[in-house]
Each structure stands twice: as structure tokens, then as C-alpha cells.
Amino acid sequence: MVPSLETEGGLMQTLYDSAIATAIRESGTLFPWIESAHVLMIAIVVGTIAIVDLRLIGFSSHRRGARQLIVDMLPFTWVAFVLAIGTGTLLFLSNATGYYESMPFRFKLLAIFIAGINMAVFHLTAYRKIGEWDDRLPTPRAAKVAGITSLTLWILIVFLGRWIGYSYPLA
Ligand code: HEM
């Protein structure tokens, strides 16, 4: 069954009223600490992704093969991404009813989802033939397109993340 707006509103209110959300909202220090951790994780996620994207586009040094660079960066990206989702969820809970109404928040989640699809497409296309271009420049067209799309999306995600703060109704 598709949830109606009314039940979604009820769910957001339940999340808002939860003990953890109330604790974050009412503490003077928890929100800024969690937000700082969120920003730190974002820096690692976007930083490591940008290193790979620039290599895919063909800007950065190709002394290290693309496959090796991806293998070296990915563990940092994934750990930081999981922690970014964890800290982002805690921030969201603290004002679920307000953030739920925020268009930049909705578009940010959508853009993260599209960035995931872009990554999957890259793995199913150019990455499958990486043996042919691993340490060569220029990189293939499919790798360039994946890199440019990813870089654009992650810059947009950071903009949307910062924009959230100016957009939601204050509880
Ligand atoms: C790795 C992916 C993510 C990126 C790049 C990202 C980016 C950002 C940025 C740049 C900010 C502004 C921080 C500041 O100015 O102090 C922010 C804040 C925030 N993010 Fe994320 N975020 C990510 C994942 C998530 C997820 C998955 C959620 C929710 C489930 C989330 C929820 C929030 C919330 C609620 C805020 C606080 C907005 C405010 O009141 O200022 N984020 N994010």
C-alpha cells in the first residue's frame, strides 16, 4: 500500500518525538558535534571520489593504474559513506518534520541515489574492460562520462546539503 501524506506526516512526528531526536534537539552541543562529524565524513567521501573521478577524466597522474587507485580509495569512501549516512540520519531525526518538508533535503537524497546508479553503470561498462586502459591516457569515453557525471553530482550534493539549513521550517 502506498503511504498517504497523512501517515508520512504521522511517521515524521513519531521520529521527531523519539527519545534520541529529543535528546539531540534539546542538547546545546550534540547537534553541532554530529554535524561536525557529518562534514568530516563528507570531506573524505567527496575527496576520495574526486581523486578517482579526476583519474577517470584523465586529468590526474597515471603513474598508478586506475584499477589500483580505485582499490586503494574505495575502503575509505565506503567507511566514510556509512558514517555520513549514520550522522546524517541523526541530524535528520532531530527535526524530522521540518527536514521532511525541505526540497533541498529531498533533492540531496535523490542526487545521492543517482550518483549510486552512475557508479553502478561505470562498474558494468568501462570498469569491466579496465585491463585495456588501466595505465593509459586518454581514458575511454565511458570512463570520462562517469567521472564528469560523478564529480558534478557530488558538488551538487554538497551545495544541496548546505542549502538545507536555509530551507526547512523551524520546529
Ligand atoms: C555522503 C553523502 C552526503 C553528503 C555529501 C552530505 C552533505 C551535507 C552537507 C555539505 C551539509 C551541510 C553541513 C554544514 O553546513 O554544516 C549536510 C547537512 C545535513 N545532512 Fe548531509 N550529506 C550526505 C548524506 C546525508 C544523509 C544520508 C542524510 C540523511 C539521511 C543527511 C542529512 C543531513 C542533514 C539533516 C543536515 C543538516 C542540515 C542543516 O540543518 O543545516 N545527509 N550534508
Dist. CA 33–CA 11, nearest whole Å: 26
pLDDT, one tens digit for every residue, the chain (171 residues):
445 556 888 999 999 999 999 999 999 999 999 999 999 999 999 999 999 999 999 986 667 899 999 999 999 999 999 999 999 999 999 999 999 999 999 999 999 999 999 999 999 999 999 999 998 889 999 999 999 999 999 999 999 999 999 997 655
pTM of the model: 0.93
Map out the domains of the chain as residue ranges.
Answer: 5-164
Unique residue bearing C-alpha cell 500500500 = 1
From 38, 93, 167, the mutation candidate for ligand 1 (largest count of ligand atoms within 8 A of CB) is 38
157 lines ligand 1 (CB under 6 A): yes
* pLDDT attached to residue 146: 98
134 CA distance to ligand 1 middle (Å): 34
Kindly report the CA angle at 151 between 147 and 153, in degrees rounded to 5?
A: 115
58: left (phi over 0), alpha (psi -120 to 50) or beta: left
21 lines ligand 1 (CB under 6 A): no
Asked whether the bond before 138 is cis by omega within 30 degrees of 0, the reply is yes
Q: At a CB cut-off of 8 Å and minimum separation 6, what does 52 contact?
A: 69, 70, 73, 147
* pLDDT attached to residue 5: 56
The closest residue, in CA terms, to atom 32 on ligand 1 is 88
